[in-house]
A and B are shown apart, each in its own frame.
Chain A
C-alpha cells in the first residue's frame, strides 16, 4: 500500500491553493462496539473543495462527524489550522471555525425559518450577512415565518447551508447536500458551492452523486472500509475513470 500522506501530497494540484487547513492522520472511530474508521489519512488545503467519495457505509459521514467531535470514541490526530482538535467537544470545535451541515439537514421543527437561520451563534467575524444569504438563497427570504420543516427538501437544504454561512466559520463540511433533490435544485446548490469557493471558503464534501461532485471539487479521496484508499485531482479525473468505476461500483 502506498504511503497515503505522500499520495495526498502528490495529488495536490500544482497551483496549490494554500497551506493545509485540515490534516487527518490515523483517525479511527467507533459506534459503540462497531469499528467504523480504520485509520483515515487525508488533507484539505485552504480554499479547496475536497470530496470524499465511496460506497454506502464506507465511513464518509463518520469521518465528518469524527472531525466535528460528534462521535464519542475516536483516536488519531485531527489538526485544524495547526491545532489538534482530537479529542475536543464539538462545541469547542465549532467555535474554532468548523461548520457542519449534516446529511439529514437537521432543520428544527419547533423553530421557524428565521429562528433556524439565526440559531448557530457567530463564532468569529467575517460571516455572511443576512442580505448576502438572501442573495444566495432568495427563496428563504419569503419563507422566514414558516415552520422549519414545512419547507420543501430543497429549501431545507438551502436553509441548512445558509445557517452555517452566518457564523464566520471558513471551513464547511457538507454531508451529501444533493441527496434526494431535483436536478434544478442540485444545480443551484452547485452554483452556491462554486460561489462560496470563490469567496475563499474551504469545503469538505461528502457525495454519492459523483456527477455533481465533479462540477465543484478540486480533489477527491476514495474511502473504503474506513480508510482512504486513493486520491486524485479533478484534472486527473479522466485518467482515473476506470478505477473510479471499480471503487464505486457504478
Chain B
C-alpha cells in the first residue's frame, strides 16, 4: 500500500509539471498559433536561472521563484519580437521548425558549458523534512510542489477565463484583426502572452530543480510526454490542459505500481487511443 501512495505522489508531481507546461503551450498555441517546441528548453532555463541565482548571486529559492520566470519570460518575449513574429500567417510547420531549432541551440549551449550530468539544487530549509500522514510519509517539498502548481494553474485559468484582460486574450485568439480595430494593441498582447507561457515553463523549471536536479536536457526528456498530454487534452483548452496534465501524471504513477513495464509508454498509448476516437483531443474544439 505504501508503494502505491508513493507512486501516486510521484504521479501528482509529474502531473504538476505536465499541467504547468501544457497550460503554457495551450495559451501560446491559442494566441500565436505556434506549437512551441522550445518549451522544454525554456523550462530548463528556468531551472538554470534558479541555479545561477543561488550560486553566483547568493539569491535563494523563494526570490528565484519570482525572478526566474520573469527573466526567462523576458528572454521569451525577445524571441517572439525578433523571430517568432515573422511566422504570423505561415504554416504550423515553420513554427515547429523554428522553435525546435531554438530548443536545440539553447540546449546545445548549456550542454557545452555544463555537460549532461545534473547539478544539485538544495531544497529550501523551510520545506525540508516530511510529514507522517498516517498512511504514508509525505516529503514537504513534494506536497508544496503539487499544491503550488495547482494554485498557479487555477490562477492562470481565472486570469484567462474570468478577467477583462483574459477576455481580450480570448477575443484576440478568435479574431485578432477585429480586436485590434477596437483599439487594442494586439501585437503587444501576443508578446506578453508568449512571455506568460514561457514564464509558466520557467516556474515549473524552478519547482523541479530540487527534485530532478538541473540538467541541460531535463526539458528535452519531459517535453515529449508534455506534447502527448497536450494532444490528449486538446490544443487550446485551458482547463482541459490543467486537468489532463494532472490526470496523466496520476495515470502514469498508477501504471508504475500496477504494471511498471508500461509506465513509460502508457501516455503514448492513451494518445493513440484518443487520436483514433476524438482527433481534436478530449476537451478540444473542432478546428
Give the B-binding residues of A (Cβ under 8 A): 68-70, 89-91, 93-95, 100, 102, 106, 108-111, 115, 118-121, 123, 164, 167
Contact = CB atoms under 8 A, between A and B. Distances in A.
* Contact-residue bracket for chain B: 10 to 19
Q: Is the interface of A mostly helix, strand, loop or mixed?
A: loop
Q: Is the interface of B mostly helix, strand, loop or mixed?
A: helix
Contact of B170 (A68, A102, A111): A111
Contacts of B164: 118
A217 to B, nearest CB: 23
A236 to B, nearest CB: 33
A108 B183 contact: no
B167 A70 contact: no
A100 B171 contact: no
Given A70-B177, A102-B178, A110 B170 contact: yes
Most B Cβ at <10 Å: residue of A90, A95, A118, A123: A90
A102 B179 CA distance: 12
5 contacts: A91-B183, A94-B183, A115-B171, A118-B164, A121-B184
A95 B167 contact: no
Given A108-B174, A110-B173, A110-B174, A118 B181 contact: no
Contacts of A91: 180-186
Contacts of B168: 119
A118 B184 CA distance: 13
The 7 A-B residue pairs with the shortest CB-CB distance, nearest first, are: A94-B183, A120-B182, A110-B170, A90-B181, A106-B178, A115-B167, A95-B183
A110 B171 contact: yes
Given A70-B177, A106-B178, A118-B164, A123 B183 contact: yes
Contacts of A167: 182-183
A25 B64 CA distance: 57
B181 A70 contact: yes
Given A108-B170, A110-B170, A121 B175 contact: no
Interface of B: 164, 167-168, 170-171, 173-175, 177-186
Contacts of A111: 167, 170-171
A89 B178 contact: no
Nearest to B167: A115
A188 B195 CA distance: 45
B89 to A, nearest CB: 11
Contacts of B177: 70, 90
A100 B182 CA distance: 8
A119 B171 contact: yes
Contacts of A100: 181
Given A91-B186, A118-B164, A68 B181 contact: yes
Nearest to B188: A91
Contacts of A93: 181
Given A108-B170, A111-B170, A120-B182, 6 more contacts: A70-B181, A94-B180, A108-B174, A109-B174, A115-B167, A123-B183
Contacts of B171: 108, 110-111, 115, 119
Contacts of A89: 180
A69 B167 contact: no
A133 to B, nearest CB: 16
Most B Cβ at <10 Å: residue of A100, A110, A118: A110
A167 B168 CA distance: 15
Contacts of A102: 178
A120 B186 CA distance: 13
Given A90-B180, A91-B183, A118 B175 contact: no
Nearest to A169: B183
Nearest to B175: A106
Nearest to B160: A110
Contacts of B180: 89-91, 94
Contacts of A70: 177, 181
B181 A108 contact: no
Nearest to A109: B174
A100 B186 CA distance: 17
B138 to A, nearest CB: 39
Contacts of A108: 170-171, 174-175
A164 B178 CA distance: 12
